[in-house]
Structure 1
Amino acid sequence: MSQSIIKHDQRFDFDRVPAVVELCYQAGADVSDEVLHNHIPVSNSSKDDGGVTFSGLSEEMNLVAQRTLDAWERLRTGVQKLLLVYPAKVCEHCSEVHVGPSGHKARLCGVFKFESWRGSHMWKKAEVDDLVPPKLVWHRRPHDPPVLVDGGRGFYGHAPAVVELCMQAGARVPSKYFCMMKVHGLTTI
């Protein structure tokens, strides 16, 4: 696969889309032109929410939480499979991601005065966490103190925010997160 390199003065000649959308598009997913070219986010309007009401129905919340967690896992697994086939690169110095066989030379890296690196991107192979970053939050266990203190941070667990949110709503967490969450660990407090 050969692709011409995008030069700095050509950076506005090409559409920029979310990396996961581009990766799925290159893999053959049916992405509408509105999403691909006009960058219209796909969302439901507040008027048509599919009949779901969030009025504290715990069974319904459990179902929503489990579906959300399952979708999170499917997304990360799907991105991992796509990355095995389709090349994607991420810059080591900034958050720029390029999906395709070669990186671009548009100088967007280090253009701000506070950034020490100024110049071309330093491309490396992208991984799942680069495209679908897990924002980590602290996970408070039953035996942890009510307010987490700095002195015990080595003993507290953490989890991706999506996993923690779904767990608190009643979803079953996959066992692969137990080590990160330190489910059976002890605190010193």
Structure 2
Amino acid sequence: MFQGVIQHHQRFDFERVPAVVELCWKAGADPHDESLNTNSWNSENVEGTVHGAESLSPEDLRLIARGTLKAWEILRSGVQKLLMVYPAKVCNHCSEVHVGPSGHKTRLCGLFKFESWHGTHFWKKAEVDDLVSLKVVWYQRPQDPPVLLNEGWEFYGHAPAVVDLCVKAGAVVPSKYLCMMKVQGLSAPV
């Protein structure tokens, strides 16, 4: 499976789309399917959907948090499966992603004065975290002090920001994140 290399002067000849969308297209998703278009999506069909922040009860928040956490896990799992079938590359120096068997030679990487490399991308195999960014935050546990101190950083837990947000809204922590969050771990020595 060979794909022609995109040269620098051809960089505007191709539509740029999010990498996850490109992976889905390669797997056969129809980009013209109106049911997948977020602009035409009818939120009235979703159970538990509420409009406006003033109408959110604690039960509504829990329902939204559970749905968000489930969608997050489905997205990451789906991207992992698609990456096993379709090759994708990410530049080691910038945020450029290429879905396909070969990278491109568009010279968008290292064009600023402070960047020591100038010109082509340094491609490496893309992982799930490259396409669905895993932003990690400190996870404040009940046994932690109200303000986290630098001296106890190795005792504090971490969590993906999405998981932390959903847990604060009432969702149950998926078991695979418990070791990262150190829920039952020791607090920092005083």
User: What SS class does the counterpart of residue 165 from structure 2 fall into?
Assistant: helix
Identity over aligned residues, as a percent? 67
CA distance in 2: counterparts of 1:70 and 1:8, whole angstroms? 40
Q: 1:161 and 1:73 mapped to 2: Cα distance?
A: 13
1:156 paired with 2:156, answer yes
Q: What are the within-5 Å matches in structure 2 for residues 3-152 of structure 1?
A: 3-32=3-32, 42=38, 50=44, 52-53=50-51, 54=53, 55-152=55-152
Output the amino acid matched with 2:180: M
Structure 2 residues without counterparts, runs of 5 or longer? none
The CA RMSD measured in Å over matched residues stands at: 1.9
Residue 180 of structure 1: SS of its match in structure 2? helix
Q: For residues 77-111 of structure 1, give each alpha carbon's deviation from its aligned partner in whole angstroms, at most 9, with x where no partner exists.
A: 00000000000001111111000111000011111
Runs (4 or more) in structure 1 with deviation over 6 Å come to none
Could you tell me how far 1:43 is from its partner in structure 2?
Answer: 5.0
Count of residue correspondences: 181
CA distance in structure 1 between the partners assigned to 2:39 and 2:179 by the alignment: 34
For 1:9-60, what per-residue CA distance to the aligned partner results, in whole angstroms no more than 9, with x for missing partners? Answer: 11111111000000101110122389xxxxxx83579xx8636134231111
Q: Is the deviation greater in 109-118 or in 140-149?
A: 109-118
| Equivalent in the alignment of 1:183 | 183
Q: TM-score, normalised by structure 2?
A: 0.89
Alignment partner of 1:12: what SS?
Answer: coil
Q: Cα 1:24–1:107, aligned 2, differ >3 Å: closer, same or farther?
A: same
What CA deviation, in whole Å up to 9, does each residue of 1:143-183 have, x standing for no partner?
Answer: 00011111111111111110000000011111110111111
